[in-house]
Amino acid sequence: MADHEENSETSSVSSLELSCYSSDFEVLNEHDLQPYQFEPELSDAEVEETPDRDDFSESLDRLMSINWCQCANCAGMGSIRECRCCQEIPEMESLTVSTGVGCITDHPGFRSVCLDHYVLETCYHWYNQQYGRAIQDANERYRYVAYRMLVRWVWKWLGRDIRVTLPACAVARIREQFPSADGQYVGYRDPE
């Protein structure tokens, strides 16, 4: 009888092992729960864009320091996206190289295009006529138009609702020239 019980136990263990490794194990009953059944899968492009842990720590480092700055004029910004140097933007790098300066804010055109309040006031009147957006505070108005003029100068024309991230050095210089009364600034925003 003991032999029969041992064979029975061995047989049960064998059948258990077989059932775990058999192809029948993968057949699911249609009434069973199937977790993640309706989860969307990433496309190949999304997989490529998904940052890994190293990218995340590098991004966090950008936010916590300005070691990423190559022109020596950048300032810390409010978001990782805004932590970009002019030398990391090909269109700006080509402008600085062509004039032999190390930063877009040192380019002779930057002062007249982005910091001259007469130019900015004139551009604002055109902008206000086109879009009807009145900005009462003079420095806020100058900052807003200066950012737009920088984009126009560097990229020429982008198209409706297409935005680019401006380099931290340019944003810091424009904010220095036209400071906010309360020290609060609106950073980069996607189109609404």
Residue 117: pLDDT over 70? yes
pLDDT of residue 53: 46
Tokens for 142, please give them: 């100058």
Question: Looking at this protein, which amino acid is placed at residue 175?
Answer: R
CB 157 within 8 A of CB 192: no
Both tokens assigned to 73: 């004029």
**Which pLDDT score, from 0 to 100, does residue 14 have?**
45
Q: Which two tokens stand for residue 66?
A: 């300005």
Most confident of 6-15, 21-30, 145-154: 145-154
DSSP string, 78-93: SSTTT---GGGSHHHH
Give the domain ranges of the chain: 53-177
CA 136 to chain centre: 30
Q: Over the stretch 134-173, which tens digit does the pLDDT of each residue have? A: 888 999 999 999 999 999 999 988 887 788 889 999 999 9
Quote the tokens at residue 109. Answer: 């055109």
